[in-house]
Amino acid sequence: MNDIILLKQGEIVLKGLNKKYFEQKLASNAARRIKPYGSFHIYTIQSTTYVEPQSDDCDMDGAFEALKTVFGVIALTRAAACEKTPEAIAAKAIDYLGDAMRAARSFKVETRRSDKSFPMTSIQLSQYVGGELADAFPDTAVDVHDPELTVHVEVRDLAAYVHSAPVPGAGGMPVGSNGSAVTLLSGGIDSPVSSYMIAKRGVRCIPVHFWAFPYTGEAAKEKVITLARRLTAYCGRMRLCVVPFTHIQEEIRDKCPEAYFTIIMRRFMMRIADRIARDNGCGALVTGENLGQVASQTMQAMGVTEAVSSLPVLRPLIGFDKEEIVRLARKIGTFETSILPYEDCCTVFTPRHPELRPTAEETAEAEAALDVDALVEEAVMGIEYVKLEVERLEC
């Protein structure tokens, strides 16, 4: 039988009558992610998703790396399948894990039986396979307390499987299982991490970027496209909305009190994002805001900002410190792009002394000189859409 990949489910195992819905989402996301690597049969039995190659030319290394970023998978492993007899299992372990056994100084065998009709208990099968391995590799000692290598045996409905230790998966819930949301994507460190965090909770993302050309140039836009493309490894395929924001910012500069520039700008972002979200059937807006990080992220400022949205505003990073955000940005591969020296629209017309504790009434009065509806409509009509597909990983 072929070398296969086993995907261990995370939170999905806790679901009740709707569990199958989440499993189907996971299977379809996994299938889409590994399509560039060949033809695979994907199916789920007893809270494990099986990824089985359908031909010898499938790129198993590439598929395995790609599946590490699929949300909903808590752990994954390459495994070899065999017949459900002690002799076949021991022979497969000797053959499949031979290199690992020769490289290790000590080992043990752990067995799980979901097929309770198997004639041996888990302990008995571990002892039998361990004995055969010890005979085949006399230089590798048995150590049941602190082994260098753990040989895993699983006896399941269709076959028995042999593998070494699983590697961590992305965790979370399958993308798309908890609806969709518009996520505001700047060129900074925080917003890509925020998008990653909300996708991890099963939300499909529609990223929106506000572009203030010529104050922010083509390089700044390309930087954001690169960030969004990197996020597809976790979020799946997306369509980036690039919103022309220059006219709105110039109108704010010319007609509003300077202290309110940033808070009014962010209210326009919320209005436009809310419009895009409603047009796409989304249930929320997502931002990378972090409490107290900058003047526009005080409690009062965030309250005034979100007041113009008809949808809930989710802030996955609200309690993170910068060190934690940077660590996550490095993990998901966005940090080096985020720190490239191309400014985004948030740095345009920055007030010298921003209002830290605005009220809704004061802010509404400050923006009263603007034709809000017309400016929003103009921006929405000028959106540029960039289609982003998941890129094939080169292993």
The per-residue pLDDT for 58 is 93
| Residues 2/53, Cβ–Cβ less than 8 Å | yes
Helix residue ranges, H only, the chain: 19-33, 60-67, 86-96, 98-103, 122-136, 190-200, 218-235, 246-255, 261-279, 299-306, 322-332, 335-338, 360-366, 372-381
- Please name which of 290, 297, 292, 337 lies closest in space to residue 318, comparing C-alpha atoms: 290
User: In sequence order, what are the beta bridge partners of 205?
Assistant: 181
Q: What is the mean pLDDT of residues 66-72?
A: 96
190 vs 147, 301, 318, CA distance in Å?
41, 18, 10
User: What is the pTM assigned to this prediction?
Assistant: 0.89
The predicted model gives 312-320 an average pLDDT of 96
| 46 or 289, higher pLDDT | 289
Q: What is the pLDDT of residues 136-183, one digit of tens each?
A: 999 999 999 999 999 999 998 889 999 998 999 999 999 999 999 999
Average pLDDT of the residues in 218-240: 94
The band of 198, judged by pLDDT with boundaries at 50, 70 and 90, is very high
Amino acid present at 207: P
Task: Using pLDDT thresholds of 50, 70 and 90, give the confidence band for residue 247.
Answer: very high
Range with the poorest average pLDDT among 70-74, 159-163, 216-220: 216-220
Sheet with 238-244: list strands edge to edge: 313-314, 285-286, 180-184, 204-211, 238-244, 384-388
Q: According to the model, what pLDDT value does residue 1 have?
A: 47
Q: What is the mean pLDDT of the chain?
A: 93
Q: For the residues 382-390, what does the mean pLDDT come to?
A: 95
- Structural domains in the chain, sorted by start: 1-83+160-171 (3.30.70.1510), 86-158 (3.30.2130.30), 180-388 (3.40.50.620)
Residue 393 has pLDDT above 70, yes or no: no
Look at residue 102 in the predicted model and tell me its pLDDT.
96
Q: Which two tokens stand for residue 267?
A: 């209210």
Please calculate the CA angle 330-336-341 and round it to the nearest 5 degrees.
Answer: 140
**pLDDT score at 394:** 54
Q: Within the chain, how many helices (H) and strands (E) appear? A: 14, 15
Residues 6+ apart with CB under 8 A from 136: 94, 98, 101
What pLDDT band is residue 395 in, cutting at 50, 70 and 90? Answer: very low
* Tens-digit pLDDT profile for residues 332-345: 999 999 999 877 76
Report, as an integer, the average pLDDT of 284-304.
87
Whether residue 161 contacts residue 153, with contact meaning beta carbons closer than 8 Å, is answered with: yes
Averaged over 16-25, what is the pLDDT?
94
CB 340 within 8 A of CB 188: no
